[in-house]
Amino acid sequence: MSRFPGVDLLEVDALLTAEERMVRDTVRAFVDDKVKPIIEECHREGRTPLELVPEMGALNLFGASIADYGLPGLGGVAYGLIMQELERGDSGLRSFASVQSSLVMYPIHAFGSQQQKDRWIPRLATGEAIGCFGLTEPDFGSNPGGMRTTARRAGSASVGGAASSAWTAGGGDWVLNGSKQWITNGTLADVAVVWARTDEGIRGFLVEKGTPGFTASDQHGKFSLRASTTSELGFHDCRIPGDAILPGATGLKNALMCLNQARYGIAWGGIGSAMECYHTALEYAKQRVQWNGQPIACHQLVQEKLVWMVSEIAKGQLLCLQLGRLKDSGRLRPHHVSLGKRNNVWVARECAKLAREVLGANGIVDDYPVIRHMLNIESVYTYEGTHDIHGLILGQAITGIPAFNAPAPTDEPTAPARAAAPKPAGEQAPAAAAAAGSPPPPPAMVHRGGR
Ligand code: TGC
Ligand code: FAD
């Protein structure tokens, strides 16, 4: 398998330390040698490449930022470069590492008891144990704060009102009821980090595979992230010990802190996916001959597509590097992460589409990695906060106004009040403006980032 040469128009490599380059090159070689030869088959078969997990553990690709339990405690940039290279291989593989590292090891390490850390971190680090993160529910995706899954002290009064036979047993145990959906690695996981509503707010719990009342089943029919397992989790009077709660996680904020870690890695991962698509398209365009024996790379329209891709990749690389430096200096804020996730996954999505165009009919078959990346990126665009939710997080950061929640419906008639106080022409609705004799303003521009 030939080695990926990298994409580095702006000499961003020169801004990396020797250690960061070494980490990147190690993972790059792993992806070229071990991932690429099997990934199309995994994607076709719809299976997670579990055979890669022990080597990923041996390479310290799980929990690489933790400086404990013999883990390397890598800086933000080196961690990001791991995610970049894994996602260059496949978004599902990066998802596996993101969930294991950012959504399972991070909360156990940051919010867990000593006993929880000692039990899980070493086994999760080697890949001997697999974890999953259950936040999303069938009716609560973008708005996890509305979750219905409950955890009650056995013998305590009901939050949701449902009766539970398990209550009678008493003790300090917790009883979980509810369901989670779209959970990466749900059926593979030895331990699930589950977020549930309690009388004291939203708390995190560790639920072990095989616990009575805990079920996991795979979701089928996916056309995206086929080399990754996605599952539903069910909790039916699922009784877990009192010490299964993460003592340091006291609200939704802690779940969102885990997402910051994962979203940061996805910002880098998006660039990895884009690099693979760009590189494939460039090599193809230089070799594919049409018209007068000339390669298609000689056409201006083809060059413009390649130029768009490489320009956005270069900008995305600088964005990632700055996010990493902010992370390492303790100045990374959630909206910085939203900027990175939103921009770079969008860039990856556009690059996949352009690369597919450049490949013509070959763009739709899995002889080339492009169609797989194009399908995968639809999940990445949606999970860990959709593109639009990250737009709203950024909007809130710059205006101070949260725009997630539409105003509550009201019975009060509002239209006459507006008519009584006309706005300047530019602020009127088109029809009203025309009636007032002014030309209608242009339709609202929603920038979707066309080239
Ligand atoms: P809101 O009232 O704004 O906030 C509640 C508390 O949390 C604080 N906070 C944050 N803290 C740390 N990091 C962040 N990113 C934070 N965002 C908010 C906030 O200050 C507040 O603190 P406090 O002290 O006042 O309690 O919460 P909200 O319910 O209005 O929701 C805000 C919103 C919409 C931004 C949030 O719910 C959101 O991010 N929604 C998107 C959901 C999402 O991303 N789900 C991902 C599920 S996991 C997944 O997809 C894994 S995919 C596999 C893979 O990673 O590869
Ligand atoms: P919805 O929230 O229903 O959104 C639908 C559409 O409405 C989107 O376009 C959205 O942007 C838009 N929308 C919603 N609210 C607003 C608003 N206020 N303003 C404007 N537009 C809005 N979750 C986990 O907890 N753990 C996992 O491991 C996990 N893995 C996943 C793996 C895959 C393959 C996928 C696809 C998802 C995974 N998820 C996981 C779930 C993921 O985080 C959610 O799908 C995501 O948060 C969006 O939620 P939703 O699908 O319910 O969409």
- Residue-wise pLDDT for 122-147, tens only, equals 999 999 999 999 999 999 999 999 99
Q: DSSP 3-state assignment of 237?
A: strand
Identify whether residues 105 and 155 lie together within a single domain.
no
* Ligand 2 atom at minimum distance from 403 CA: 18
* Rounded mean pLDDT, 21-30: 98
Q: CB of 142 closer than 6 A to ligand 1?
A: yes
Q: Which of 136, 207, 225, 392 is the pocket-test mutation for ligand 2 (most atoms within 8 Å of CB)?
A: 136
Identify whether residues 121 and 149 lie together within a single domain.
no
Ligand nearest to the CA of 225: 2
Query: What's the pLDDT score for residue 133?
Result: 98
Residue 186 lies in a domain: yes
Domain tally for the chain?
3
CATH code of the domain covering residue 34: 1.10.540.10
> Token pair of 298, please?
């000689």
Whether residue 166 contacts residue 184, with contact meaning beta carbons closer than 8 Å, is answered with no
Identify whether residues 222 and 265 lie together within a single domain.
no
CATH code of the domain covering residue 343: 1.20.140.10
> In whole angstroms, what separates CA 336 from the centre of its chain?
15
Looking at residue 262, its amino acid is A
Q: Which of 142, 180, 377, 396 is the pocket-test mutation for ligand 2 (most atoms within 8 Å of CB)?
A: 142
Residue 164 has pLDDT above 80, yes or no: no
Q: Among this protein's residues, is 384 annotated catalytic?
A: yes
Domain termination site, one of 199, 224, 250: 250
Ligand nearest to the CA of 376: 2
Q: CB of 385 closer than 6 A to ligand 1?
A: yes
* Rounded mean pLDDT, 364-373: 98
What percent of the chain clears pLDDT 90, i.e. is strictly above it? Answer: 85
> In whole angstroms, what separates CA 1 from the centre of its chain?
29
Lookup result for tokens 């639920």:
207
Identify whether residues 90 and 141 lie together within a single domain.
no
Query: What's the pLDDT score for residue 432?
Result: 40
DSSP H/E element including 153? strand 150-153
Residue 419 lies in a domain: no
Residue 314 lies in a domain: yes
Query: What's the pLDDT score for residue 156?
Result: 59
Identify whether residues 266 and 374 lie together within a single domain.
yes
Domain that holds residue 293: 254-399
Q: CB of 229 closer than 6 A to ligand 1?
A: no
Whether residue 281 contacts residue 305, with contact meaning beta carbons closer than 8 Å, is answered with yes
Q: How far, in Å, from the CA of 257 to the mean position of ligand 2?
A: 17
CATH code of the domain covering residue 201: 2.40.110.10
* Rounded mean pLDDT, 319-345: 98
Residue 75 CA to residue 16 CA, distance in Å, equals: 11
Identify whether residues 205 and 105 lie together within a single domain.
no
Q: How many residues does the chain have?
A: 451
Residue 13 CA to residue 84 CA, distance in Å, equals: 14
**Which is more confidently placed, 32 or 415?**
32
Identify whether residues 369 and 262 lie together within a single domain.
yes
Q: What does the DSSP 8-state code read for residue 159?
A: S
Q: CB of 95 closer than 6 A to ligand 1?
A: yes
Torsion of CA 79, 145, 331, 105, to 10 degrees: -30
* Rounded mean pLDDT, 19-34: 98
* Ligand 1 atom at minimum distance from 393 CA: 35
Identify whether residues 275 and 375 lie together within a single domain.
yes
Neighbouring-strand partners of residue 154 = none
**Which is more confidently placed, 167 or 116?**
116
From the list 280, 242, 229, the residue with the least C-alpha distance to 151 is 242
DSSP H/E element including 203? strand 201-208
Identify whether residues 262 and 222 lie together within a single domain.
no
Domain termination site, one of 60, 92, 126: 126
Residue 276 lies in a domain: yes
Give per-residue pLDDT as tens, 254-307: 999 999 999 999 999 999 999 999 999 999 999 999 998 999 999 999 999 999
Q: DSSP 3-state assignment of 152?
A: strand
Residue 390 CA to residue 395 CA, distance in Å, equals: 8
Residue 433 lies in a domain: no
Identify whether residues 394 and 281 lie together within a single domain.
yes
Identify whether residues 365 and 323 lie together within a single domain.
yes
Residue 299 CA to residue 319 CA, distance in Å, equals: 30
Whether residue 42 contacts residue 51, with contact meaning beta carbons closer than 8 Å, is answered with no
* Rounded mean pLDDT, 206-228: 98
Please state the pTM of the whole predicted model: 0.91
Residue 349 lies in a domain: yes
Identify whether residues 37 and 55 lie together within a single domain.
yes
pLDDT band, residue 412 (cuts 50/70/90) = low
Residue 445 has pLDDT above 70, yes or no: no
Residue 439 lies in a domain: no
Residue 413 lies in a domain: no
Query: What's the pLDDT score for residue 1?
Result: 65
Ligand nearest to the CA of 139: 2
Query: What's the pLDDT score for residue 373?
Result: 98
pLDDT band, residue 413 (cuts 50/70/90) = low
* Rounded mean pLDDT, 69-90: 98
Residue 386 has pLDDT above 80, yes or no: yes
Lookup result for tokens 């990066």:
94
Query: What's the pLDDT score for residue 404?
Result: 95
pLDDT band, residue 170 (cuts 50/70/90) = very low
Domain termination site, one of 208, 232, 250: 250
**Per annotation, catalytic residue among 40, 276, 350, 384:** 384
Give per-residue pLDDT as tens, 82-93: 999 999 999 999
> Token pair of 63, please?
């929990």
